[in-house]
Amino acid sequence: MMLNEAEDDRDSVHSGDRWVLIVENDLAFARVLLEAAREQGFKGVVTSHGTAALNMVNETKPSAIMLDIFLPDIDGWRVLSRLKNDLATRHVPVHVISTEEARDRALSSGARRFIAKPIQSRKAVDDVLAEVHEFAASEDRKLLVVEPDPVRLATIREYLAGLEHVEVICATDGPRAAELLLHGKLDCAVVNPDTPELDLAGVLDEIRDTNAVPPPIIAYGRRTAASVGAASVAALERMPGVHEVHSIERLLDQVVLALHLDVSRVKAEHRRVLDDIYSSTKALAGRRVMIVDDDIRNIFALSSVLEDYGMDIRTADNGREAIALAQKGELDVILMDIMMPEMDGLETMKEIRKIPHCKDLPIVAVTAKAMKGDRERCIEAGAWDYLSKPVDREQLITVLKAWLQK
């Protein structure tokens, strides 16, 4: 919904406010979520459009996001991926709302919680928003590290030292690890799956049997597949909510993500590691971009920037040429100028969206006139993101990286 059909609080949300963004295609259910959020002391903003939601998050960070997967303009999985691949937004907790079969994918994609539809009662909604309130009310996080090797344990603790408001507790054996996983009220756990006497799958099942939600598990320190057996490897990979990493740098990345820590507030040493992992050059090199603009000067300016990042650039100076190139199916993203003669960018995007293999192709609208309603018109025409001219180099790269990060 582009209009304020839910009569939400969008006109009164300001920087620093505690508010929940509700991205929900069912207006009646969105209103239920809005009422529950207000009862927990949050302001609430409602939209049924994923692209509108992304623009709102970029302007003012919400305390949490309630995300439906089935949206009219863009797949909810794309929205979740976009949020979690942008260092500026990935700390915002996302609660995915969908049918039960989406649970494992949601948790493995970075969602903090999963809410199964159909919702059984209003109390279930209230319980979810109460948990959102509890998490948002405190910056304190509790991290468990399970590692039987004292040298490796010391290395992990030292590497993660300095994460603000994070209490690190340790376990070196299976029984102690199981006790803490079951009763420790953890926000995340780093676990060596080879820890003696630790049945990780069994512990996680026991937590679920109590209707509780297991903390995100980061598997780190496992021996090779040959030494533990293919069956053990496969069993770990099938566990929902378990992410395996093989380097200390990726461990830091996943811990910061699972704890929903704001990357802008981590210490400089950790920020350098994360910046390197999410390097723009690594994300963009070799990716195929089409620049559509009737002004050769604009094409040259954008091409000059993107060539620095190793992108494979195609260009079109009118809508019909852009459609012809899109039909070939050799693109990863499109930068679309809106103000073009004959067929403008809005009409061009609508035609490109009719091409079957272009339904899930990221299109970023670029407009010279930042007029009221421009963003909405671009979104309705099929754009997933929006930039105003003159295009800021850093903003351009941030947007492209977030859509193309693997």
CA distance 336 to 376: 15
Where in the chain are the domains?
A: 10-137, 141-277, 281-404
| Predicted local distance difference test score (pLDDT) of residue 248 | 93
| Predicted local distance difference test score (pLDDT) of residue 96 | 96
Using alpha carbons only, give the angle 142, 68, 382 rounded to the nearest 5 degrees: 125
| pLDDT at 324 > cutoff 80 | yes
Looking at residues 297-321, what average pLDDT do you find?
94
| pLDDT at 194 > cutoff 50 | yes
| Predicted local distance difference test score (pLDDT) of residue 243 | 87
| pLDDT at 400 > cutoff 90 | yes
| pLDDT at 62 > cutoff 70 | yes
What is the C-alpha radius of gyration for the chain, rounded to an integer number of angstroms? 23
Query: Is the CATH number of domain 10-137 3.40.50.800?
Result: no
pLDDT grade for 13, boundaries at 50, 70 and 90: very high
Does the N-terminal peptide bond of residue 390 adopt cis geometry, omega within 30 degrees of 0? Answer: yes
Looking at residues 242-269, what average pLDDT do you find?
93
pLDDT grade for 229, boundaries at 50, 70 and 90: very low
CA distance 324 to 328: 7
Q: Which two tokens stand for residue 1?
A: 């919904």
CA distance 168 to 161: 9
Residues 6+ apart with CB under 8 A from 354: none
pLDDT grade for 319, boundaries at 50, 70 and 90: very high
CATH class of 281-404: alpha beta
Q: What is the 3-state secondary structure (H, E, C) of the chain?
A: CCCCCCCCCHHHCCCCCCEEEEECCCHHHHHHHHHHHHHCCCEEEEECCHHHHHHHHHHCCCCEEEEECCCCCCCHHHHHHHHHCCCCCCCCCEEEEEEHHHHHHHHHCCCCEEEEECCCCHHHHHHHHHHHHHHHHCCCEEEEEECCCHHHHHHHHHHHCCCCCEEEEEECCHHHHHHHHHHCCCCEEEECCCCCCCCHHHHHHHHHHCCCCCCCEEECCCCCHHHHCHHHHHHHHHCCCEEECCCHHHHHHHHHHHCCCCHHHCCHHHHHHHHHHCCHHHHHCCCEEEEECCCHHHHHHHHHHHHCCCCEEEEECCHHHHHHHHHCCCCCEEEEECCCCCCCHHHHHHHHHCCHHHCCCCEEEEECCCCCCHHHHHHHHCCCEEEECCCCHHHHHHHHHHHHCC
% of the chain residues with pLDDT over 70:
93
Do the domains 141-277 and 10-137 match in fold? Answer: yes
**Alpha carbon of 61 to those of 14, 55, 91, 123, 331: distances in Å?**
10, 10, 10, 27, 31
Whole-model pTM?
0.82
List the CATH code of the domain at 141-277.
3.40.50.2300
Place of tokens 């109590």: 210
Looking at residues 60-76, what average pLDDT do you find?
94
| pLDDT at 227 > cutoff 50 | no
| Predicted local distance difference test score (pLDDT) of residue 210 | 87
400 vs 235: which has the higher pLDDT? 400
Q: Are 24 and 97 in contact (CB under 8 A)?
A: yes
To the nearest 10°, report the CA torsion of 224, 178, 125, 116: 40
CA distance 194 to 32: 45
CA distance 204 to 238: 12
pLDDT in tens, 340-383: 988 999 999 999 999 999 998 999 999 876 666 778 888 889 99
10 Å CB burial of residue 37 (0-12, 13-18, 19+) is buried
Task: Please give the backbone phi and psi of residue 35, each rounded to the nearest 5 degrees, phi first.
Answer: -65, -45
| pLDDT at 224 > cutoff 60 | no
| Predicted local distance difference test score (pLDDT) of residue 201 | 87
| Predicted local distance difference test score (pLDDT) of residue 15 | 83
| pLDDT at 222 > cutoff 70 | no
Most confident listed range (226-230, 289-293, 342-346, 377-381): 289-293
| Predicted local distance difference test score (pLDDT) of residue 231 | 46
pLDDT grade for 262, boundaries at 50, 70 and 90: very high
Place of tokens 């029984």: 175
Nearest CA to 20 out of 49, 61, 58 is that of 61
Q: Are 322 and 349 in contact (CB under 8 A)?
A: no
pLDDT grade for 242, boundaries at 50, 70 and 90: confident
| Predicted local distance difference test score (pLDDT) of residue 238 | 62
**Alpha carbon of 261 to those of 225, 243, 379, 404: distances in Å?**
32, 17, 30, 22
| pLDDT at 46 > cutoff 50 | yes
Looking at residues 198-214, what average pLDDT do you find?
88
Mean of pLDDT over the chain: 90
| Predicted local distance difference test score (pLDDT) of residue 61 | 93
